Amino acid sequence: LTREGFSAIPSVKWEDVGGLQSIRDMFEWEIIRRIKNPKCYEGLGADLEAGILLYGPPGCGKTLIAKAVASEAGANFIHIKGPELLNKYVGESELAVRTLFSRARTCSPCILFFDEVDALTTRRGQEGGGVAEQLLGQLLIELDGADQRKGVYVIGATNRPDVMDHALLRPGRFGIPQYVPLPNSYERGLILTALGRKKRIDANVDLMAIGSDSACKNFSGADLSALMNVAAMEVVKDNWNSRNEISDATPWTIKEIHFKRALEKMS
């Protein structure tokens, strides 16, 4: 496995995630409290589904929220991309899946995050289909053996749930499908606020108003993150005067005008 198969506790906190409140609540109950207070769950039959599937358009926080779950639970996080597992010879991909789960068990509690999980199942019957079929088979075995993988929590992410093999979506496997939508106007403000925590933003800037601006109507979280960066670059450029000298107007902060220019550039 590549570097990506290694585990660490991520540094993403809930406050870094804007919006997505109902998904956060679901993860609180399903995973975080379960890890922190296992006794409350034992003996009730309140068993966890083998896996939770996050689906929806790109850049809306699927990876971010999975990392925040691990971090808030104090759990390790293993990030694996579906296509990487496919990039193997017949036989090796099976081993890769087994190794992945066994590594996750040794560092439990652990969140095993399968990004682009649809890639594991769309190639059945096509070239390279042998690898995909073996891989899927092994993945199903691991998911079905949920009681033997105590402390390993599987989260999958995809932009294409429609092309996924139904065997994976059955209850007991990725049995909790959760749609991660594009943010609405209010949520865009919350995302900008979360992203702005690590930036120097002028006190007069109203991030909620920028989020509700029709100019960023269909922006994803990733687009809003790009907007922040473009606005920050505008500040950097402003700090050089016409003779290409650094101006001494400190402290430099991102102001309304920088967001305005950034929005013009991005539209």
Residues of this chain that interact with ligand ATP (CB under 6 A) are: 17-20, 58-64, 115, 157, 159, 191, 194-195, 221-222, 225
Q: Nearest distance from residue 68's CB to ligand ATP, in Å? A: 9
Place of tokens 């599937």: 53
CA distance 155 to 261: 38
The nearer residue to ligand ATP, 19 or 94, going by C-beta atoms, is: 19
Question: Which DSSP category does 164 fall into?
Answer: S
Collapse the DSSP code of 84 into the 3-class scheme (helix H, G, I; strand E, B; otherwise coil) and give the result.
Answer: helix
Q: Are 223 and 252 in contact (CB under 8 A)?
A: no
The nearer residue to ligand ATP, 164 or 194, going by C-beta atoms, is: 194
Could you tell me the strand order of the sheet in which 7-8 lies? Answer: 7-8, 76-81, 110-115, 152-158, 51-55, 176-179
The nearer residue to ligand ATP, 110 or 191, going by C-beta atoms, is: 191
Q: Nearest distance from residue 64's CB to ligand ATP, in Å? A: 4
Q: Nearest distance from residue 122's CB to ligand ATP, in Å? A: 15
Q: Nearest distance from residue 192's CB to ligand ATP, in Å? A: 9
The nearer residue to ligand ATP, 23 or 94, going by C-beta atoms, is: 23
The nearer residue to ligand ATP, 75 or 138, going by C-beta atoms, is: 75
Q: Nearest distance from residue 77's CB to ligand ATP, in Å? A: 13
For residue 189 the two structure tokens come to 């403000």
Place of tokens 């505008």: 234
Q: Nearest distance from residue 158's CB to ligand ATP, in Å? A: 8
The nearer residue to ligand ATP, 81 or 255, going by C-beta atoms, is: 81
Question: Which DSSP category does 94 fall into?
Answer: H
Concatenated DSSP letters of 175-227: -EEEE-PPP-HHHHHHHHHHHHTTS-B-TT--HHHHHHSGGGTT--HHHHHHH
The nearer residue to ligand ATP, 54 or 100, going by C-beta atoms, is: 54
Place of tokens 């919350």: 190
The nearer residue to ligand ATP, 63 or 239, going by C-beta atoms, is: 63
Q: Nearest distance from residue 112's CB to ligand ATP, in Å? A: 15
Closest listed residue to residue 137, CA positions, set 179, 188, 87, 85: 85
Q: Nearest distance from residue 88's CB to ligand ATP, in Å? A: 22
Concatenated DSSP letters of 2-43: -GGG-EE-----GGGS-S-HHHHHHHIIIIIHHHH-GGGTTT
**Nearest residue by C-beta to ligand ATP?**
221
Say whether the peptide bond before residue 109 is cis (omega within 30 degrees of 0).
yes
